[in-house]
Structure 1
Amino acid sequence: MKNRILQEATKEILHRGLKFSVRDLASRLGISTKTLYQHFPSKERIIASIVEQAVNQMKDREKELMNDSSLPLKQKLYEALVIIPQGFVFSDIRVMKELQMAYPDQWAIMNDYLTKGWDNIRLLILEGTEKGDIRDFDVETFIRVYIGAMYQLMDHSVASPSGLRMEDSLSLVVDLLLRGIYADPSVKEGSR
């Protein structure tokens, strides 16, 4: 029943954002709110469970990428930087912002992963620089720029007017971070 509740809560979030009501969720499930509360003591706990599942899914995907010897290093790095769980309710930038504003404890779980889960990225970058596939650069600045871009994507005032999903927006950011804006990759830094 818990999984069913979480699945239906996900649908509610996709439809209404995090402003869904427990009453609507119970109705969607065909159960009473009392029955729902027997499985989850609060709406916050439902959202926390969804966030925890999402973070675990992202960690599992990252582990799969790291162990996939068939992928070239650059592709691994790109895919690791754009990991968002498939069909994840927080792929909508506005829902991520709602989570940050209305559910600080649940946001802290997501934010902790986004800001501290960089060990595998550091390993990929180190491997790439050692092999000569990636130029030497300040990794910590790269990470700060990435995280800053994530926060900017979530800001309502700069959210994409075209309604880009988080996954699409993040792909654009990662493409800029990894490939830059030069049309000719042979152009050296400081050249004119």
Structure 2
Amino acid sequence: MRWKYKESELREFILDTTIQLFKLKGLKFTMDELAKEMGISKKTIYRVFPDKKTMFYRMLDFFFDKIKSKEEAILNDSSLSTEEKIRAVLGAMPDEYKDIDFSALYIVREKYPKSYDRIVQRLETGWDSTIALINEGIKEGVVRPINVTVIKAMLSATIEQFFQNDILVKNEVSYPDALASVVDIICCGIIVK
């Protein structure tokens, strides 16, 4: 099949399908499997991405951009209270990827070090809206006065830890469940009140 749409549409289709294939096979899928899944030739994929490493790197930005879009939607949702927005933003995951278990991403560090560095960079940046929201919660009195930098460091370091080793896989905890637990611990603490 010859792709007859814009290159940007093809790029998005490839990246979205890559994420879906990751859901089924982890990082062990081949470019042949990707081409078959998409119903296009490998040559068409290689016209957009020169190799799997480059494609995977771009997939990470694509995924993090989707998270940022989800965060923006949450921040702009006037039906949510500040507290609801904080919980939702801290655990933001695009709806189409909620059932994907990212716990096997620890393999990225060894196999794709440049992509791993990009994950870390994306985890550590883009916090301005979230920090402003938490500060708004402090002003409203729904969040106790805290050092927001510490919250950022806690969440970033925890997610980074999930991607550094196989802690989730060994303990049979899915990434969505782990993220939900982290957000709950940050928002509620560990002491029963």
* Secondary structure in structure 1 of the residue aligned to 2:168: coil
Which residue of 42, 56, 59 maps to 1:47? 56
Which residue does 2:47 correspond to in 1? 38
Whether contact under 8 Å (2:23, 2:101) holds in the other structure is no
Which residue does 2:94 correspond to in 1? 85
Task: Return the letter of the residue paired with 1:93.
Answer: S
Task: Return the letter of the residue paired with 1:111.
Answer: V
Deviation, structure 1 residue 47: 1.6
Which residue does 1:179 correspond to in 2? 188
Which residue does 1:188 correspond to in 2? none
User: Does 1:13 pair with 2:22?
Assistant: yes
Structure-2 separation of matches of 1:115 and 1:165: 22
Q: Structure 2 matches for 1:112-127, cutoff 5 A?
A: 112-127=121-136
Structure-2 separation of matches of 1:4 and 1:137: 42
1:123-167 Cα shifts (integer Å, max 9, x gaps): 112111112111111221222121222123234342254533212
Which residue of 72, 93, 100 maps to 1:63? 72
Question: Structure 2 stretches of 5 or more lacking a match?
Answer: 4-9
Whether contact under 8 Å (2:106, 2:166) holds in the other structure is no
* Secondary structure in structure 1 of the residue aligned to 2:95: coil
Q: Structure 2 matches for 1:145-164, cutoff 5 A?
A: 145-161=154-170, 163-164=172-173
Which residue does 2:6 correspond to in 1? none
TM-score between the two structures when normalised by the length of structure 2: 0.81
Deviation, structure 1 residue 49: 3.1
* Secondary structure in structure 2 of the residue aligned to 1:159: helix
TM-score between the two structures when normalised by the length of structure 1: 0.81
Which residue does 2:143 correspond to in 1? 134
Question: Structure 1 stretches of 5 or more lacking a match?
Answer: 185-192
Residues 105 and 86 (structure 1), Cα distance of their counterparts in 2 relative to 1, 3 Å cut: farther
Whether contact under 8 Å (1:84, 1:91) holds in the other structure is no
Identity %: 26
Structure-1 separation of matches of 2:129 and 2:158: 20
1:37-91 Cα shifts (integer Å, max 9, x gaps): 2232211232233222211111111111111222111110011000122343864
Which residue does 2:120 correspond to in 1? 111
Whether contact under 8 Å (2:82, 2:137) holds in the other structure is yes
1:75-127 Cα shifts (integer Å, max 9, x gaps): 10011000122343864211x22233322333333322211121112111211
Number of equivalences: 183
Q: Which has the larger radius of gyration?
A: 1
Moved more, 145-154 or 55-64: 145-154
Task: Return the letter of the residue paired with 2:47.
Answer: Q
